[in-house]
Amino acid sequence: MPASVLLLVGTRADAIKMAPVIREVSRHKDLKPIVVATSQHREMLDQVLTAFNLKVDMDLNIMRPGQTLTGVTIRAMEGLEKIIEENEIDITVVQGDTSTSFVGGLISFYHKIPVAHIEAGLRTYDLMRPFPEEANRRLLDAISTLLFPPTETAKKQLLAENLPATAIAITGNTAIDSLMWVTGIDRPISDSKLQKIADDKDRKLIVVTAHRRESFGEPFQRLLRAMARISESHPEADLVYPVHLNPNVDAPVRAALSNTPGVHLVPPLDYFDFAKLMQACDFLLTDSGGIQ
């Protein structure tokens, strides 16, 4: 009987980085992948699942309007508990530091199921930055059976925390596998206006993403004022900003930049279009760990 591998995705970044792993697990006859989505980022997650042609076996669809971190955690715990109780899981694979990954690891640990953590060992040593991800990944590493850091530095940080060397294997970052795959596809950006901006060699292209929870409020306003100044001082540049759907991001961005010349506010792009836009840009301004 093949070993059952529970693979969890919650956000768009989870899906991007987990896609190569899901594909590889699916190739092995002695492994049975069970892909579960909590759908922390519903619309943006769906974009990635479609782009990589990933089949989700179970979708918890946990998000509700105005839901708190506590609400996300409770709903994810209840949903994953039910799945683990109803299926014989041999190992759980989680990616990164989202609430989905932490909860998946914790519930599996409670059921004495081994946990494999992809992108282990990343640290800022400031529990508030990023919040709550720094706490999520520290706790997750402590309860994981297998640790897959992307770099030698991340491995050293795990060893410094007295985690066993025999449990650690450097793998590189699976986001690179996804990026190499998608940028190898010869296809234009689906929005012809964006493709035209990307193709214009007479102008500079600046791509912007910003959505970090810890930046909400005045730090985010400072960023928006800086973007307005960049646009004013560099009329030869186009700033393309795919705006996150979170109302804490969308509302202030549109209030501050909707009528700013040279700034193009667009809906979240699918992974293919964003990767092509990154390829074409001259400068990238982001608070995304995955993009960096």
**Which positions are catalytic?**
97, 119, 133, 211, 213, 244
The DSSP result for 199-236, as a single string, is H-TTSEEEEEE---GGGTTHHHHHHHHHHHHHHHH-TT
Q: Which token pair is 234?
A: 């560099």
Torsion of CA 69, 33, 90, 47, to 10 degrees: -10
Amino acid residing at 64: R
Rounded Cα–Cα distance for residues 58 and 36 (Å): 5
Residue with tokens 């964003």: 274
Rounded Cα–Cα distance for residues 213 and 18 (Å): 23
244-280 core/surface letters (b: 16 or more CB in 10 A; e: else): beeeebeebbeebbeebebbbbeebbbbbbbbbbbeb
